[in-house]
Structure 1
Amino acid sequence: MADPAAQYTAEALARRFELEVVGDGDIVVEGVCALEPGRERRLAFAETARQRDIAAASRASLLIVPRQLIDLDRPVLLVSDTPRLSFARVAAVFERPASEPGIAPGAVVAASAQVAPSASVGANAVIGERAVIGAAVIVGAGGVIESDTTIGMGSTIGPRAVIRSGTMLGERVVVGAGAVIGERGFGLVPGPAGLEAVPQLGGVRIEDDVEIGANSTIDRGAIDDTVVRTGVKIDNQVHVAHNCVIGAHTVIAGCTGIAGSCTIGSRCMIGGGVGIGDHVSIADGAIITAASQVPKDIDTEGVYSSTFRAMPARAWRKRLALFRALDRIEARLKRVETKNGISGDPL
């Protein structure tokens, strides 16, 4: 949701994001738009010289362009070596929802909680004992911030999100609607009368500039904290179990499940629906494609997959029949090799 109150001059954006201004730096924009057809008082971007005609005709008031488009006949341009990245960074300043500072009617704030004057606490939100809510934090309607929790400056907690006791969030963290951070981990041990719960005494530490999608869950640690490092981006409906450590700037797509005590490296890309087994370590920079299963450590940067692509159902059933027959096929092959005096590697 864009902030309707946000307005920036081209010169101000150039200074903030280290861009070069060509033309009238006093032109004001109040949001972003697509390059074609574009909108007045909005910013768009072009990436290549092939977009020259579209960029020239765009109704956008301000464009971010590569250096090969610096000669466009426009009132003002922002020049970048990486226009798409620069556009993403600029667009982020308009993304933060507008919210008036203060505590909305119906919100419940404990007497021992510290809420910064510039923070916004939505209707029916709950702030627990000794919680610390930093400057410019937004807690959405129905959000729950439990006791002894710290929310860093500029963070946004979505509607109905729950931040359980003892959780620490850094600055500019975004938690989507319905997410739950710091729930007890799924720790069980067999006992004489069945499974018994293992106390989950750790917490969760979320570092700066992390995004956690709607309805995602991150469990607190059993003893040590679960840790999500700087710049991690987690999609909707992702589960991170207790005692995991997610390395800086890793990206995790929707519906992925990460079992307990995993260590995920920095700059990893994990596709949607991936399942990662407990106590698995994944190297920095690893890419795991969608729906893969990861039961063992990945020690080297690279691209990893473990699933079949979709195929017609009849073809899949034929392959499934072969899978089920693999033991018999292997035994038959060994008999043939033995009969013919062939010594081959085992399958």
Structure 2
Amino acid sequence: MAASRAAAVTLATLAERFDLVVQGSAAQTAIRGVCALEPGKPDCIAFAENAGQIESINRSAAAAVICPAAVAEAIESPVLVAKQPRLAFARVAALFERPSAPAGIHARAVVAETAQIDTQASIAANVIVGEHSVIAAGAVIGANTVIGEGVRIGADTRIASNCSIGDDVRMGERVSIEANAVIGGRGFGLVHNGRGWEAIPQMGSVHLGDDVEIGAGTTVDRGALDDTVIARGAKIDNQVHIAHNCRIGEHTVIAGCTGIAGSCTIGANCMIGGGVGIGDHVHIADGVIITAASQVPKNIDRGGVYSSTFRAMPATGWRKRLALFRQLDKIERRLRRVERAGLSSENNE
């Protein structure tokens, strides 16, 4: 990764901010970005997790390394000592992920007279902000994004370009929404009238808690009556669909291309793999892990790891198994006849 355009920070500053320890006299070493351990980059910081990486540290061009104490004792490079180097690195990297956006409203933005935008918020070109919406300090709204009426956006929230935020959506602080996401679109509520389908009004909205992340191209539908809720710290990947009236628990993570039907409840600290399909009105308990491409048509009432798919195999083997699957009814009927015949023989003896 190239060095960020953000201002340099010293190891001493990073240590104080993230509760780390500077080894030796390297406190004033300047850091302008993050990098991989090898080859490393000057003015950037890398990380290492075990003694097996000591030779890589010695070869690295990185200005400093985040590593555990046992590794730090064996090297001479400028070091930040951390109990969890990967976690510490992630937090440091976040400082350099994006340059700070300038505060203010771009001349080509369209902002309703009744909207309230903090002077420390940043509104890019071609953004539209609807009536009575409120945008707090430090929030950044990317180009071409549309903010509906009555929206509440918390401090330090970042919404990328080309997003659509529906009416009355509420977001906490430090929410992150990537490009082309749609938050608060109409839910897929329909009723059949005997001849065709009629739409059910979707009158709720969406509530995103603090530190929620929404990936690029993801859609979160507004509720039919109550709000769709994604709780604090939940992380949603790219191209996920969350239907109306769903509730996602705190610190749950959902990988890309998962589809969640309406009125589902997913507990806290769950991990949902990519391409999972969850049926409507399903309840999933706290601490559930669902592996990729699984189908979940019914409730999961206790924590654990759940799967419902076949692993990939050579196509010829799969075709043979598929042929057997198609014969399962016949095989079952034949087995029952054999079992009945066996019982009859035993009774006659």
Give 1:11's aligned residue.
12
Instruction: Quote the residue 2:249 is aligned against.
Output: 247
Q: For the Cα contact (< 8 Å) 1:56–1:72, is it kept in 2?
A: no
1:102 aligned residue (101, 104, 108): 104
CA contact (8 A) 2:54 2:75 kept: no
SS at match of 1:338: helix
The one-letter amino acid of 2:60's match is: S
Is contact 1:3–1:98 with CA below 8 Å preserved after alignment?
no
Q: Indicate the residue corresponding to 1:258 in structure 2.
A: 260
Partner of 2:43: 41
SS in 2 for 1:328: helix
Task: Write out per-residue CA displacement over residues 205-251 of structure 1, whole angstroms, 9 at most, x where no aligned residue.
Answer: 00011110011000111111110011111111000001111011111
SS in 1 for 2:34: coil
Cα distance in structure 2, aligned partners of 1:303 and 1:333: 33
* Residues 75 and 312 of structure 1: CA distance in aligned 2, closer, same or farther (over 3 Å): closer
List 4+ stretches of structure 1 deviating above 6 A. Answer: none
Work out the percentage of aligned pairs sharing the same amino acid.
58
Amino acid at match of 2:153: I
Shift in Å, 1:101: 1.3
CA distance in 1: counterparts of 2:76 and 2:92, whole angstroms: 19
Instruction: Give the total of aligned pairs.
Output: 343
How does 1:148-187 map onto structure 2 within 5 Å? 148-187=150-189
Cα distance, 1:342 vs structure 2: 8.3
- Following superposition, the deviation at residue 193 of structure 1 comes to 4.2
Q: TM-score w.r.t. structure 1 length?
A: 0.96
Give the partner amino acid of 1:242: H
Does 2:323 correspond to 1:321? yes
How far off its partner does 1:70 sit?
A: 2.0
Q: Which amino acid aligns with 1:174?
A: S
**102-111 vs 41-50, greater mean Cα deviation:** 102-111
2:56 aligned to which of 43, 54, 57 = 54
For residues 205 and 3 of structure 1, what CA distance do their matches in structure 2 show?
32
Q: Where in structure 2 are the equivalents of 1:173-212 lying within 5 Å?
A: 173-212=175-214
- 2:11 maps to amino acid: A
Q: 1:27 matched to which residue of 2? A: 29
Question: Could you tell me which of 67, 71, 74 is aligned with 2:73?
Answer: 71
Q: CA deviation at 1:265?
A: 0.9
Structure 2 counterpart SS, 1:318: helix
Q: Please, what is the CA RMSD of the aligned residues?
A: 1.5
| Partner in structure 1 of residue 235 of structure 2 | 233
| 5+ long unaligned stretches in structure 1 | none
Indicate yes or no: 2:310 matched with 1:308.
yes
Residues 267-297 of structure 1: CA distance to partner in whole angstroms, max 9, x if unpaired? Answer: 1111110000001111111111110000001
TM-score (norm 2): 0.95
Write the distance in 2 (CA, Å) between the matches of 1:338 and 1:18: 72
Is residue 107–residue 123 contact of structure 1 (8 Å, CA) maintained in 2?
yes
For 1:323 and 1:76, locate their aligned partners in 2 and report how far apart those are by CA, in whole Å: 61
User: Could you tell me which amino acid in structure 1 is paired with residue 41 of structure 2?
Assistant: R
Q: For structure 1, which segment, 252-261 or 65-74, has the greater mean C-alpha deviation from structure 2 after superposition?
A: 65-74
Secondary structure class of the residue paired with 2:343: coil
Q: Could you tell me how far apart the structure 2 residues matched to 1:95 and 1:88 are?
A: 10
State which of 114, 128, 131 in structure 2 corresponds to 1:129: 131
Unaligned runs of 5+ in 2: none
- In structure 2, C-alpha distance between the alignment counterparts of 1:204 and 1:3, rounded to whole Å: 34
Write the deviation string for residues 47-87 of structure 1: whole angstroms up to 9, x where unpaired: 00111111122111121111111224435211111111111
The one-letter code of the counterpart of 1:320 is L
Deviations 1:117-157 (A, max 9, x none): 11111111111111111111111110111110011111111
- Residue equivalent to 2:335: 333
Query: Distance between the aligned counterparts of 1:96 and 1:5, measured in 2?
Result: 8
1:280 to 279, 282, 286: 282
CA contact under 8 A between 1:137 and 1:154: conserved in structure 2?
yes
User: Counterpart of 1:202 in 2: which secondary structure?
Assistant: coil
How far apart are residue 98 of structure 1 and its match? 3.0
- 1:103-122 to structure 2, matched below 5 A, reads 103-122=105-124
